[in-house]
Amino acid sequence: MDEDPQASSLGEMIRKQRELASLTMRQLSKMAGISNPYLSQIEHGLREPSQAVLREIATSLGIDPDELQPEAEEIGVRDAIAADPGLTAAQRRALTEVYTSMIAATAARRADRNS
């Protein structure tokens, strides 16, 4: 099966949120009412879930379904960091790491508030 870049990105977002929630794939699949192999295929970008399944996964993770979609702004910030000629490679890495950790911390706080 060919990987769909959009499905892959969504799958990565779901996996990251699942890991932030300290859930195994088996636990999340049971909570969302889907099979473990189906969740695995979603996380690996091999299948794209329906909106109903996406809602169930998001609800099980304690987040809004919209939070599972990669944000254009987030992608833009990373692109801006990567393209800035005034930064060294080490500065680019540091900024990207800080930005990524801030996004993860915000998602974790939202998940805590929703649980």
CB atoms within 10 A of CB 66: 9
Inform me whether the pLDDT recorded for 4 exceeds 70: no
Inform me whether the pLDDT recorded for 42 exceeds 70: yes
Dist CA 99 CA 93 (whole Å): 10
Backbone angles phi, psi at 64, to 5 degrees: -75, 140
Contacts 24+ apart (CB under 8 A), 57-62: 57/14, 57/28, 57/32, 59/32, 60/28, 60/31, 60/32, 61/14, 61/17, 61/18, 61/21, 61/23, 61/28, 61/111, 62/21, 62/111, 62/114, 62/115
Inform me whether the pLDDT recorded for 28 exceeds 70: yes
pTM: 0.56
Inform me whether the pLDDT recorded for 59 exceeds 50: yes
Highest averaged pLDDT of the listed ranges 42-56, 75-89, 100-114: 42-56
pLDDT more than 70, % of the chain = 86
